[in-house]
């Protein structure tokens, strides 16, 4: 899964048309590098990020999604927690809803069930603006697993197909370094909940903290973690760096499959 941010901080000037054109150029590279899914996001969820209104988020993502599905044979996911944005994005051609809030907003589960789209349910403690303020867990793997199992059950009850659900421990979302480490060691127990597991570690601050690297120097650290995650049972890796990540995880897969 390749990251495609359509936020003003990623495309600072030139207005909507320029940012749509820039996003489409980026999408072309991502597809050429071999991504299976392009994850389009119009609101940042990184620590400390400020929320955006649904109208603005829709105006950012819809033109990009329409242009991608018109040009490329690739699945598009929409990275949002707002049911209005989910509906607009699916109307524009997205076939997966990637929700860092695990479809807990009123109407989100029913919408995705009716639309018949895939869903990624992620664990987050709190909300992006404040989630890194002193997060505490007694047993982070058990608590995240319990949450994801419960949200998965709620989705099944709402009529979402079992094979349409992916689970994500939410690396960096209300977690200290040791929590991220424990979750990466515990992917097997999340996979045992019965759905494929997705992991996003790409360029995140805990890599920077461990290695002493700036955000543009975290590729190799992220590749190590992507390989570890896949070896531990993860099935999808969310990344900014498609070609190197694919090589790393295809190699892990080749060894595990024995061919």
Contact residues for ligand PT1 (CB under 6 A)? 45-47, 79, 98, 100, 120, 122, 168, 170-173, 198, 200, 204-205, 238
In angstroms, the CA 233 to CA 158 distance is 27
Is the CB of residue 244 less than 8 Å from the CB of residue 219? Answer: yes
SS3 119: strand
Could you say which of 60, 175, 203, 204 is catalytic? 204
**Least separation in angstroms between CB 170 and ligand PT1:** 6
Give Cα separations from 215 to 109, 129, 201 (angstroms): 34, 19, 12
**Least separation in angstroms between CB 17 and ligand PT1:** 25
**Least separation in angstroms between CB 121 and ligand PT1:** 9
The DSSP line for 186-235 is THHHHHTTSS-BEEE-TT-HHHHHHHT--GGG-HHHHHHHHHHHHHTT--
Could you say which of 82, 152, 218, 238 is catalytic? 238
Q: Which residue is nearest to ligand PT1 (CB)?
A: 200
Of the pair 98, 245, the CB lying nearest ligand PT1 is at 98
In angstroms, the CA 236 to CA 75 distance is 13
Q: Is 82 a catalytic residue?
A: no
Of the pair 13, 216, the CB lying nearest ligand PT1 is at 216
Which pair of structure tokens corresponds to residue 227?
């390989």
**Least separation in angstroms between CB 39 and ligand PT1:** 7
Of the pair 21, 205, the CB lying nearest ligand PT1 is at 205
Of the pair 240, 248, the CB lying nearest ligand PT1 is at 240
- Shortest CA distance to 184 belongs to which of 165, 171, 166, 202? 171
What are the catalytic residues?
Answer: 204, 238
């Amino acid at each position: 899964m390749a990251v495609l941010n359509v936020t003003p901080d990623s495309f600072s000037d030139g207005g909507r048309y320029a940012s749509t054109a820039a996003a489409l150029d980026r999408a072309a590279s991502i597809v050429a590098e071999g991504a299976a899914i392009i994850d389009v996001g119009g609101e940042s969820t990184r620590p400390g990020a400020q929320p955006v209104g649904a109208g603005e988020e829709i105006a950012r993502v819809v033109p990009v999604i329409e242009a991608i599905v018109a040009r490329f044979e690739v699945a598009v996911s929409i990275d949002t927690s707002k049911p209005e944005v989910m509906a607009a994005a699916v109307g524009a051609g997205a076939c997966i809803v990637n929700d860092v809030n695990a479809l807990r907003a009123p109407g989100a589960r029913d919408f995705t069930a009716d639309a018949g789209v895939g869903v990624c349910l992620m664990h987050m403690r709190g909300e992006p603006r404040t989630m890194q303020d002193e997060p505490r867990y007694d047993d982070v793997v058990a608590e995240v697993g319990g949450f994801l199992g419960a949200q998965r059950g709620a989705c099944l009850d709402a009529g979402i197909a079992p094979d349409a659900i992916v689970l994500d421990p939410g690396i960096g979302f209300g977690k200290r370094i040791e929590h991220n480490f424990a979750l990466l060691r515990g992917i097997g127990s999340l996979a045992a909940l019965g759905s494929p597991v997705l992991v996003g570690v790409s360029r995140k601050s805990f890599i920077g903290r461990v290695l002493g690297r700036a955000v543009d120097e975290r590729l190799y650290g992220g590749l190590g973690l992507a390989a570890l995650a896949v070896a531990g049972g993860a099935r999808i890796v969310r990344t900014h760096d498609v070609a190197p990540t694919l090589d790393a995880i295809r190699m892990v897969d080749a060894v595990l499959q024995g061919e």
